[in-house]
C-alpha cells in the first residue's frame, strides 16, 4: 500500500485528516523579529523562559534586546530542568502566575519550550497537574480555551517542540515519562534561527539529529490515518492521527536532509550550511510528527531515558546520569523497523533509499534495509551501540517493557499491535547492533 488515501477505506474508519501548523518564521537572524511579533500579538509583559547555559550565549541577549526594544516588559525564568519533571513544571507554573504576564517567549531546546507550554497552560487554566495529562496516568481533560500567546525559539535542531502541541515530563511519583497533548498547547509562533545551531556541541547535534530522523521515520511508518476509527465529535480527531499525505511530505524531505547533512553537521562545527539544513529538517519533521504522531521507538525511549543508572554522554552539562532524548529513541529504532517492515514494505524501502541505501531492495527486505541505514548513520556519528551502549543488559528488559506500556497514545499509533511480548522482543533486539 503506497497511499492509503487512494485505497478503499473500511467502514467506520476516518477518511479525513486535519492539517495543523503554527506560524513559522525561519531564517538566519530571525531572532531579531521576536519583539515585533510579540507586540503584534498584543503582548505587553512576557515571561521569557530559557536555561542557565543559554542565558550566557548571544542568542539570549538578542531575544532580550528585541523584546525590550519593542516595549515589552520581561520576567525571566531560567531554572529549567534538563529533563522536566512534575516538580519543575510546578515551579514554572508558580513563577508564571506570580509574574502576571500576558504572553510567553521560550528560547531553548525541548525542555525549555515544553516547560513554557506547561506554565502557560496552568497559569491560564488553573487545575491540578493530572487534569490535562494524558491517560492512563492523567485525566486527559480537554483544555477549556485558548492559551496566552507563546513565541517559541528553538536552539537545538531536534525536538520540533516549537511546532507541536506536546509537552513531555517525568512524573516522579509514577517513575514514568508522560505528557500533555493538545492543539491548544502548540506555540502561537515558532521563530527558528538556524544560527543557534552553530554553538551546539557535536554530541548534542548527533543526538538531536537522530531525534529528527526518528520523528520522520515514525511518522512515515505510523499506521495510516485512514485505518483509525472516525472521531466523535469530529474535533476529537487526535493529533497523533497517523500517517497522512501532509505528514508524508515533511517526512520525505527531512529524511533526505538527514542523509545529506547529519554526518557533516556532527563532524564539523564550522560547517554552518550542514547545521542550518539540520535545523530545517527538524522543523519539517516536527510539523510532520505534530500531524501524524510517532510510535514505538519513542514509546520505548521514555523507559530508556527514565530508568538510566550511570550513563552520561560527553557534551551535556552536569554529571547526572542521563540518556538524551534523541539517543534514547535512536537505540530502539533499528529493532523496531525490522519488525514493522512487513506492515508497509514499500514505505520502509523508500525510507531506506532516502537514507542512502544503494541497489535493489526487495519489498520484503524494506525493514531490514532501513535498519541497516540507521545503524550505519549511528556509527558514523558515534552514537552508543544499542541499549548496552547506554548501560542496560538483558536483565533490564522486563523493567523497560513495564516502563513502555503506559505510553498507549504512542503504541496505538504503531502500524501493528505492540503487546508486552513484542516489546520484550524489540528491546532484546535493541541490546547491541554491531
Ligand atoms: Zn522526539
pLDDT in tens, 151-164: 999 999 888 999 99
pLDDT higher than threshold 50 for residue 2: no
Q: C-alpha cell of 142? A: 480537554
**325 Cα to the center of ligand 1, angstroms:** 6
324 vs 311: CA distance, rounded Å: 10
**337 Cα to the center of ligand 1, angstroms:** 16
Q: What is the 3-state secondary structure (H, E, C) of 273-341?
A: HHHHHHHHHHHHHHHHHHHHCCCHHHHHHHHHHHCCCCCCCCCCCCCCCCCCHHHHHHCCHHHHHHHHH
Per-residue model confidence as pLDDT tens digits over 172-185:
888 788 899 999 99
Average pLDDT over the chain, rounded to an integer: 94
In sequence order, the β-bridge partners of residue 171 are 176
**425 Cα to the center of ligand 1, angstroms:** 22
**348 Cα to the center of ligand 1, angstroms:** 19
**298 Cα to the center of ligand 1, angstroms:** 6
Average pLDDT over residues 339-345: 96
pLDDT category, 7, cuts 50, 70, 90? low
Per-residue model confidence as pLDDT tens digits over 86-104:
999 999 999 999 999 999 9
Average pLDDT over residues 296-323: 89
> Parallel, antiparallel, or unpaired: how do β-strands 166-171 and 189-192 relate?
unpaired
Average pLDDT over residues 278-301: 96
pTM score, two decimals? 0.95
Predicted confidence at residue 9, as pLDDT, reads 87
Backbone region of residue 13 per phi and psi (left: phi > 0; alpha: psi in -120 to 50; beta: other values): beta
**366 Cα to the center of ligand 1, angstroms:** 23
Of 2-16, 172-186, 348-362, minimum mean pLDDT range? 2-16
Q: What is the 3-state secondary structure (H, E, C) of 30-58?
A: HHHHHHHHHHHCCCCEEEEECCHHHHCCH
141 vs 235: CA distance, rounded Å: 14
**134 Cα to the center of ligand 1, angstroms:** 17
Query: DSSP letter at 417?
Result: -
Q: What percent of the chain has pLDDT over 90?
A: 83
- What H or E segment, with its residue span, contains residue 27? none
Give the start-to-end residue ranges of the domains of the chain: 4-17+200-429, 29-192
**362 Cα to the center of ligand 1, angstroms:** 30
**215 Cα to the center of ligand 1, angstroms:** 6
**37 Cα to the center of ligand 1, angstroms:** 27
**156 Cα to the center of ligand 1, angstroms:** 12
For cell 497523533, what's the residue? 240
CATH architecture assigned to 4-17+200-429: Up-down Bundle (1.20)
Predicted confidence at residue 3, as pLDDT, reads 42
**359 Cα to the center of ligand 1, angstroms:** 30
% helix, strand, coil for the chain, step of 5: 55, 10, 35
**116 Cα to the center of ligand 1, angstroms:** 17
Per-residue model confidence as pLDDT tens digits over 131-151:
999 888 899 999 999 999 999
**212 Cα to the center of ligand 1, angstroms:** 7
**302 Cα to the center of ligand 1, angstroms:** 10
**209 Cα to the center of ligand 1, angstroms:** 10
**354 Cα to the center of ligand 1, angstroms:** 20
Q: In what order do the strands lie in the sheet with 150-154?
A: 23-26, 189-192, 150-154, 103-108, 45-49, 73-77
CB-side exposure of 266: number of CA atoms within 13 Å? 22
Neighbours of 360 (CB within 10 A): 7
**115 Cα to the center of ligand 1, angstroms:** 15
Fold designation for 29-192: Rossmann fold (3.40.50)
pLDDT higher than threshold 90 for residue 315: no
- What H or E segment, with its residue span, contains residue 133? none
pLDDT category, 22, cuts 50, 70, 90? confident
**159 Cα to the center of ligand 1, angstroms:** 5
235 or 286: which carries more pLDDT confidence?
286
Backbone angles phi, psi at 298, to 5 degrees: -75, -40
**216 Cα to the center of ligand 1, angstroms:** 10
Residues 6 or more apart whose Cβ sits within 8 Å of residue 321? 308, 309, 310, 311, 312
313: nearest Cα among 205, 160, 195, 170:
205
**7 Cα to the center of ligand 1, angstroms:** 30
**238 Cα to the center of ligand 1, angstroms:** 18
Neighbours of 135 (CB within 10 A): 12
**374 Cα to the center of ligand 1, angstroms:** 16
CB 322 within 8 A of CB 312: yes
Amino acid at each position: 500500500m503506497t497511499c492509503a488515501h487512494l485505497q478503499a477505506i473500511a467502514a467506520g474508519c476516518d477518511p479525513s485528516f486535519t492539517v495543523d501548523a503554527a506560524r513559522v518564521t525561519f531564517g538566519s537572524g530571525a531572532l531579531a523579529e521576536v519583539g515585533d511579533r510579540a507586540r503584534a500579538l498584543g503582548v505587553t509583559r512576557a515571561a521569557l523562559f530559557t536555561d542557565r547555559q543559554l542565558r550566557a550565549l548571544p542568542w539570549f541577549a538578542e531575544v532580550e534586546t528585541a523584546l525590550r526594544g519593542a516595549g515589552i516588559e520581561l520576567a525571566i525564568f531560567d531554572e529549567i530542568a534538563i529533563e522536566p519533571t512534575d516538580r519543575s513544571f510546578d515551579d514554572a507554573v508558580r513563577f508564571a502566575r506570580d509574574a502576571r504576564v500576558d504572553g510567553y517567549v521560550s528560547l531553548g531546546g525541548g525542555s525549555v519550550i515544553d516547560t513554557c507550554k506547561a506554565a502557560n497552560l496552568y497559569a491560564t487554566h488553573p487545575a491540578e497537574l493530572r487534569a490535562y495529562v494524558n491517560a492512563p496516568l492523567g485525566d486527559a481533560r480537554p483544555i477549556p480555551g485558548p492559551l496566552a500567546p507563546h513565541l517559541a525559539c528553538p536552539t537545538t535542531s531536534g525536538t520540533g517542540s516549537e511546532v507541536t502541541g506536546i509537552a513531555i515530563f517525568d512524573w516522579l511519583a509514577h517513575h514514568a515519562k508522560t505528557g500533555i497533548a493538545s492543539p491548544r498547547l502548540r506555540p502561537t509562533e515558532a521563530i527558528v534561527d538556524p544560527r543557534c545551531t552553530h554553538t551546539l556541541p557535536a554530541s548534542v547535534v548527533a543526538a538531536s539529529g537522530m531525534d529528527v530522523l526518528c520523528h520522520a521515520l515514525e511518522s512515515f511508518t505510523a499506521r495510516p490515518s485512514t485505518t483509525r476509527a472516525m472521531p466523535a465529535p469530529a474535533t476529537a480527531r487526535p493529533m497523533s492521527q497517523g500517517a497522512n499525505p501532509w505528514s508524508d511530505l515533511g517526512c520525505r524531505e527531512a529524511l533526505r536532509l538527514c542523509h545529506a547533512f547529519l554526518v557533516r553537521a556532527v563532524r564539523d562545527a564550522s560547517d554552518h550550511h550542514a547545521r542550518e539544513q539540520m535545523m530545517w529538517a527538524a522543523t519539517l519533521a516536527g510539523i510532520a510528527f505534530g500531524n501524524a504522531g510517532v510510535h514505538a521507538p519513542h514509546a520505548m525511549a521514555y523507559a530508556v531515558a527514565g530508568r538510566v543508572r550511570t550513563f552520561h554522554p560527553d557534551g551535556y552539562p552536569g554529571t547526572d546520569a542521563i540518556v538524551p532524548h534523541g539517543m534514547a529513541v535512536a537505540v530502539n529504532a533499528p529493532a523496531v523497523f525490522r519488525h514493522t517492515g512487513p506492515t508497509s514494505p514499500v514505505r520502509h524501502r523508500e525510507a531506506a533509499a532516502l537514507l542512502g541505501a544503494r541497489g535493489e531492495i526487495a519489498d520484503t527486505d524494506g525493514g531490514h534495509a532501513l535498519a541497516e541505514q540507521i545503524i550505519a548513520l549511528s556509527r558514523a556519528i558515534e552514537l552508543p551501540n544499542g541499549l548496552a551502549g547506554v548501560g542496560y543488559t538483558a536483565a533490564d528488559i522486563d523493567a523497560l517493557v513495564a516502563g513502555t506500556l503506559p505510553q498507549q497514545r504512542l503504541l496505538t499509533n504503531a502500524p501493528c499491535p505492540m503487546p508486552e511480548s513484542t516489546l520484550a522482543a524489540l528491546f532484546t533486539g535493541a541490546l547491541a547492533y554491531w
